[in-house]
Amino acid sequence: MSIFIDRDTRLVVQGITGRDGSFHTRQMIEYGTQVVAGVTPGKGGQKFDEKVPIFDTVEEAVKEGGANTSVIYVPPAFAADAMFEAADAGIQFIVCITEGVPVLDMMRVRPYVMEKGARLLGPNCPGLLSAGQSKVGIIPGNITMPGNVGLVSRSGTLTYEVVYKLKGAGVGTTTCVGIGGDPINGTSFIDCLAAFEADPETVAVVMIGEIGGTDEQDAAKYVKENLSKPVVGFIAGQTAPPGRRMGHAGAIISGSAGTAEEKIQAFNDNGIAVARRPLDVVGLIQTALGSA
């Protein structure tokens, strides 16, 4: 099985005719994702690659194409409006790839989407991939294979590296989820951990965190109190100097709570085996699968 997306996912691409939207739409279709519609205001009535109908609004894409999931590839200035529009149209799962969405915009978007009963993934995330079923976002389809390990990460590139190394060791995944590294995002570690716990085909979980904030500490406590499945982890930014933003907007250490050392200690205290290098995740997950 998988979490959040599967073979029944019906996707609308917001920004389908842009550079990134068009490139990744082709990749998603090639992987097998059901892309049922695209949205670019002013281009309604056209077709993308002579296959996918384009609409002016998400509401039309839902009504005419039966879309239940949206992926957003629009510039930061318009991303909030795109998320609002998807939620208003009744989309149940909204994935925002866009980087650089203002924090003030997300302070309005996140509660609005929740009030509509929808789930938001991102912004500033690579999306997710349910191996052999569907991919929504920018995770390369060739780096993973179907299996029984779930993965959730704040880092897109580390997701790619770890998943590729797992595949090389013969370890496949159910779903790989990149939640993004912005200070305010729609789906948390805990949301994904709860979904993996409920998925009967996910036997073990990889959790990749990074410096900044306390999400990893909260997730570690949740693992100890709620998960029956083994979890292994890695924390990026172990050599980062204090007070300096490293990569993601949320990856800045304030005091001691956001340091790699504090997060690693929280993992260890709550029974999560921690890799010192991304490559070491492979050995830890193989051990976890052997004991699961």
| Active-site residue list | 248
Residues forming beta bridges with residue 94, ordered by sequence position: 70, 120
With CA atoms as reference, report the closest residue to 283 among 166, 196, 150: 166
How deeply is 137 buried, as exposed, middle or buried, from its count of CB atoms within 10 A (0-12, 13-18, 19+)?
buried
With CA atoms as reference, report the closest residue to 126 among 149, 100, 97, 146: 97
Residue 279, token pair as written in the block:
């490559």
| Cβ neighbour number for residue 90 with a 10 Å cutoff | 15
Distance between CA atoms of 235 and 210, rounded to whole angstroms?
5
Distance between CA atoms of 85 and 152, rounded to whole angstroms?
27
Distance between CA atoms of 156 and 227, rounded to whole angstroms?
24
Question: Interhelix angle for 215-226 vs 260-269, to 10°?
Answer: 0
Helix or strand holding residue 87 (H, E) = helix 76-88
Distance between CA atoms of 251 and 226, rounded to whole angstroms?
27
**Taking the CA atoms of the chain, what radius of gyration do you get in angstroms?**
19
